[in-house]
Structure 1
Amino acid sequence: MAHKRALEALDRILKDLRNDWRCFGGAMILLSGDFRQTLPVIPKSTAADEINACLKSSNLWRYVKKLQLVTNMRVALVNDTSAEVLQAIAVNRERAILAAKNKDVNDLNFVIQNQIVGTLHTFKSIDCVTNEEEATNYPTEFLNSLDMPGLPPHNLQLKIGSVVIMLRNLNQPKLCNGTRLVITKLMANVIHAMILKGKFKSDEVLIPKIPMISIDMPFEFKRIQFPIRLAFAMTINKSQGQSFSVCDLNLENACFSHGQLYVACSRVGKPSALFVLAPDKKTKNIVYHKVLY
């Protein structure tokens, strides 16, 4: 999903730092990826714009030597019969519901959180424009109504036991964008949470309110809020790179971009761990992707 310009910028920086005008300053760079997955996200773009942003459209692609992996590690780990792996799978609660659009995800998260017993806590953000001269043009009430991808909502509602996902890097690699956590304690200005998966699984962390600036609008505005969103369900794009023991796929609204169906179906290591809700006309593609296993 990385834009080709990110790699081109790295190429220029390494040439300057190493004082060597060969590709990447003469250094060998190892990239990992799968071009069947989702392409770079370009807001308000066409399919041609997304393809043009892909690494294969860069002038650096001619220097790339392709090495193909032959083992599907998700499948290999599921089929591993060693006691350690079987125990890890048995205690894993690493599961998620995936959907193509943010609206579907928000609706599912709202329904699921309402099933949790406990008090609902509400945290409201502080919003303002970065340019004080534009403050009269964009009142606070209007800024509060904005719900932008990549930003937490103005009205963040949480319960103890809610599953959330980080939207910003706070303490890499422990607490970074995409980390899934479960809420253990809620306070006015800090949240106690436990990491659900990865190298730091079960570690307790503190999440503070931080300022976040949106540049996806004709104007810049700052939102001070906890950098998290509910993540019982998440978008297919956000799930790329993650592994789950059980994955539920909601396709009531169809996938709309290259690679989304492939990414959703390949988050688990065996077909029996994938559950799909889809109209009959969409089940043919799902069966085909299950055969890929």
Structure 2
Amino acid sequence: MIPDLRHNYTNHGWLRERAILAAKNLDVDVINFKIQQSLPGNEITFKSNDTVVDPDEVVNYPVEFLNSLDLPGMPPHNLRLKIGSPIILLRNLNAPKLCNGTRLVIKKITGNILQATILIGKFQGEVVLLRRIPIMIPSDSPIPFKRFQFPIRLAFSLTINNSQGQTMTICGLDLENPCFSHGQLYVACSRVGKPSNLFVYTPHGLTKYIVNIMALR
């Protein structure tokens, strides 16, 4: 799936054509951490600044608690990066060049500025600068707070939901924890054009296929 990574990760053509998909953020984070550890160079950690929207709620939601939250569509509190690591944007920054779902690779880290090369789409190969921005928690969250952080996550591995709209030549699918919603398995399997380029791991060779009950009527 990712053969000889230490020699290939600087090849953007090789990097853009492959990724490992998983159903949950927890699985994706574990995979990303393990792969990034195999890259040469120092790992740099960027910690977010988390604050509640309503100042009167500070006592109820201390900063340590907000830091511990890792929610879908949000960057992590502890964002660990290395030069050469692929990332995915979580927000629209400058459409159509920098949109939610754009994959890039870290080129240089200077203070609180990331220099990155766009991996996919019309603007692939262009170098852009990324900075931290205030990111509001999704509206369906019971705790209104904002996170000041780079709007990115590592992208050696992606959640199946984040992979929608992505096209890959080679795709790994880790289903140690199975899909949990209708259509996820189809989305994951349709990221590649040839079945022979899809590599699936499941415990005991079995997984769940979630179907909307309305589709069976």
When the two structures are superposed, what TM-score results if normalisation uses the length of structure 2? 0.85
Are 2:190 and 1:266 equivalent residues in the alignment?
Answer: yes
Bigger relative CO (Cα 8 Å, ≥ 6 apart)? 2
Structure richer in helix, relative to its length = 1
Q: More deviation in 155-164 or 247-256?
A: 247-256
**Residue correspondences, number:** 196
- CA drift of 1:153 comes to 0.8
Alignment partner of 1:239: what SS?
coil
**Runs of at least 5 residues in structure 2 that lack an aligned partner in the other structure:** 1-12, 210-217
* 1:190 and 2:113 matched: yes
**Is 1:235 equivalent to 2:153 in the alignment?**
no
Could you tell me whether the CA contact under 8 Å between 1:126 and 1:223 is conserved in 2? yes
CA apart distance, 1:218: 2.1
Task: Show the counterpart of 1:121.
Answer: 44
Displacement of 1:221: 0.7
TM-score scaled by length of structure 1:
0.64
- 1:166 counterpart (64, 89, 96): 89
Instruction: State the superposition RMSD in angstroms.
Output: 1.8
CA drift of 1:111 comes to 0.5
1:136 aligns with 2:59: yes
Distance 2:152 2:140 in 1: 18
Q: What amino acid is aligned across from residue 177 of structure 2 in structure 1?
A: N
Work out the CA distance in 2 between the residues paired with 1:234 and 1:157: 16
Q: 1:210 to 1:93 in 2, by over 3 A?
A: closer
Q: 5 Å matches for 1:1-293?
A: 93-214=16-137, 215-282=139-206
Find the aligned partners of 2:23 and 2:133 in 1 and give their Cα distance.
Answer: 28
Residue deviations 1:89-127 (CA, integer Å, cap 9, x gap): x86742110111111111101100101110010111111
Counterpart for residue 4 of structure 2 = none
- 8 Å CA contact 1:236–1:264 kept in 2: the answer is yes
Contact 2:18 2:169 in 1 (8 A): yes
Letter in 2 for 1:172: A
In terms of fraction of residues, the more strand-rich structure is 2
Structure 1: 5+ residue runs without aligned partners?
1-89, 286-293
Larger-Rg structure: 1
**SS at structure 2 position matched to 1:212:** strand
1:280–1:175 CA distance, 2 compared to 1 (3 A): same
Inter-CA distance 131–142: structure 2 relative to 1 (3 Å threshold)? same
1:231 to partner: Cα distance: 0.9
Identity of aligned residues (%): 63
Tell me, in whole angstroms, the C-alpha distance in 2 between the residues paired with 1:280 and 1:240: 27
